[in-house]
Every structure is written in structure tokens, then in C-alpha cells.
Copies of this chain bind each other. A is one copy, B any other.
Amino acid sequence: MASENVEDYLKSIYTLQSKEGRVTTSSLSERLRVSAASVSEMIKKLADEGSVHHTPYKGVALTEEGKTRAIRIVRRHRLWEVFLVEVLKYEWDEIHEEAERLEHITSDKLEERLDAALGYPTKDPHGDVIPTREGKVVQFGQASLASLKVGEQCVVSRVSDSSPDVLKYASKLGITLRKKIHIREKLEFDGSLRVQVEGREHFISGKLAQHIFVEPVADEKRRRSKSFKRVRTISRGKSS
């Protein structure tokens, strides 16, 4: 396998690509906390070995092969996150850094055994989908809590894992996966919300709301599995 550094570059390119579309030298520089010059060098290397397409001064995009490799690392990262929470009883805000290291030393066999021991999970502790071994990423349409209106109800399906502080604060408010949220009030000028979770009411900022993703509240009675899943399959080969 590639070095830890190369793997983290690929993963970052993949994530930025999914989230922002364009991946620039400076976005990678910021994300990986490495100088732009170093990124530029690494990009050249990745392009040479066929993991990315590079248009100088324009940006970078994963090749098929690069994407496959990136998704594989994402899969390992998320499997380890499940392990840390389910088996080792970590909190969801404590797992990122550990998984960031574990993902690089995971052999195919280890990945397989871990997956099996965990019962073939499909989501990580933040609600992110775990890619299959074949590299398929099934993403459900999710709305951010910030997009809901007063009076609506929803269920938490994902919380952005980009900041441990956000995660810690969310769980302090009781906002964890599968919790039901009622929107009691919404201030349009700043997007902040008054919400009810498990009987308690909280004010949350628009900023925080953008990190919380939800699905329409399940129909209580039937179809607890197929509620409004506008399934979007991000498979290898299609750029997301």
C-alpha cells in the first residue's frame, strides 16, 4: 500500500471533491496543514502515478483508480470509528484522530475481520455511510436541520464529524443519531432555532444547525426503513 501521507492526500481530495466539487492546491494545503508548495509537489507525484488528473493552476481530480483507493481508506476509517464506539466505548467526539491513524495500517484481512466482528455496519457513529468493499457509497438524501421550518419534526440521521466540539456539544443537548427533533421557533435573520429534543428545549445557532442532518420523522407505525429515501448511489465511476 501507499504511504500514510499519500493516503491522506487521496482521502482529502475525495472529501473535498464530494463537498466542494473543485479541489485546489490551497484547499488541500489548508485541510492537510501543509504548505501549498508541498501540496504542489505531492500533486505532481500523484498525477505521475495516475491517481489524479492535474490541470496546472486549475485544480485536481481523482482518477478512477485514485477514487477507488480513497474510498477504501474512507471505509477503513469508518469501520474503525464503529469499533471504537461500539467495542471500546469511546464517545463519538473522541474517535477521529485514532481512526485517522488506524486506517493506514489496515490490511485487507484486518478490514474484513473487523467488518465481520462489527456485524457489517452500514453507518459510522456520525451517521456517515460506510462504503462497501466494492467501493459503493450509498448516500441518502439528507437535509440540514437549518433547512427546516417552524413546526416541522425530523430525526437526526447524521452529524458532521468535522469538529469534535460540535459533536460534544450536540450530544450534550441530546442531539444524537435517531433522536427526534421538533422545531419550535426559527429566527429567520440569523437562522437560529429553538428546538425540542427528548422533552428538553434548546436554542441552537444557525451555524450549528448546518452541521446536523435529518430525515423526515419516521411514520411511527409502518415502514421504519424506507422513509423517503431518495437514494443516491455514488458508485465508483460517477463523480459525486
Contacts and interface: CB of A to CB of B under 8 A. Distances in A.
A45 interface: no
B88 A87 contact: no
Nearest to A113: B88
Contacts of A84: 113
Interface in A64-111: 84, 87-90, 94, 97-98, 101-102, 104-105, 107, 109-110
Contacts of A114: 88
Contacts of A37: none
A205 B117 CA distance: 38
A113 B89 contact: yes
A209 to B, nearest CB: 31
A88 B105 contact: no
A105 B113 contact: no
A101 B104 CA distance: 10
Q: How many copies of this kind of chain does the complex include?
A: 2
A98 B108 CA distance: 11
A104 to B, nearest CB: 8
Contact of A110 (B98, B104, B117): B98
Contacts of A97: 107
Contacts of A110: 88, 98
Nearest to A100: B105
Interface string A195-207: 0000000000000
A107 B104 CA distance: 15
Contact of A117 (B89, B101, B102, B113): B89
21 contacts: A84-B113, A87-B87, A87-B117, A88-B110, A88-B113, A88-B114, A88-B116, A88-B117, A89-B113, A89-B117, A90-B113, A94-B109, A97-B107, A98-B107, A98-B109, A98-B110, A101-B105, A102-B102, A102-B105, A104-B105, A105-B105
Given A87-B87, A89-B113, A94-B109, 17 more contacts: A84-B113, A87-B117, A88-B110, A88-B113, A88-B114, A88-B117, A89-B117, A90-B113, A97-B107, A98-B107, A98-B109, A98-B110, A101-B105, A102-B102, A102-B105, A104-B105, A105-B105
